[in-house]
């Protein structure tokens, strides 16, 4: 009887864990005048009333997960795991059945780029840090070890 070949699948962390690791790295490594923030839109289930209130005050969907800003630079970091696909525009319906168009990242990101934001899809913290270093973002010297 032959045995099937043994194989291991690469473990992929949930996207929120990748975002949290990026946040920790940014807190420790970025230096003034660089600043950053998270745009946490899809991580918490909101009631219809909460979503409506955020929409009313101008919160936009489909922005990058993190924004890093320093003089003359606005950089969006979109964290992706697995297939790494950007969201697409779609029609959604409220619990009452009212249709609403939701613009996806594929359509929003080009508009943000046209407004001057550089956007990078990153699959690891090291990937994001190498991009920021190449863009001359003020940060401490760093090294990723195994």
Rounded to two decimals, the pTM is 0.84
Kindly list the domain boundaries of the chain, sorted by start residue. Answer: 15-134
- What is the DSSP-derived secondary structure letter of residue 34? -
- Residue 18's alpha-carbon distances to 23, 65, 98, 122, 123, in angstroms, are 9, 11, 34, 9, 8
pLDDT tens for 76-119 read: 999 998 778 999 998 888 778 889 888 999 999 999 999 999 99
Return the pLDDT at 107: 97
The architecture of the domain spanning 15-134 is: 3-Layer(aba) Sandwich (3.40)
């Amino acid at each position: 009887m032959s045995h099937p070949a043994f194989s291991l699948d690469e473990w992929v962390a949930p996207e929120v864990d990748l975002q949290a690791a990026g946040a920790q790295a940014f807190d420790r490594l970025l230096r003034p005048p660089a600043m950053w923030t998270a745009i946490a839109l899809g991580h918490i289930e909101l009631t219809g009333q909460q979503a409506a209130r955020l929409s009313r005050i101008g919160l936009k969907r489909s922005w990058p997960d993190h924004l890093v800003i320093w003089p003359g630079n606005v950089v969006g970091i979109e964290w992706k795991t697995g297939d790494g696909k950007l969201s697409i525009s779609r029609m959604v319906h409220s619990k009452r059945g009212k249709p609403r168009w939701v613009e996806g990242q594929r359509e929003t990101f080009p508009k943000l780029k046209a407004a001057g934001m550089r956007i990078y899809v990153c699959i690891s913290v090291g990937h994001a840090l190498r991009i920021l270093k190449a863009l001359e973002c003020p940060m401490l010297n760093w090294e990723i070890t195994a």
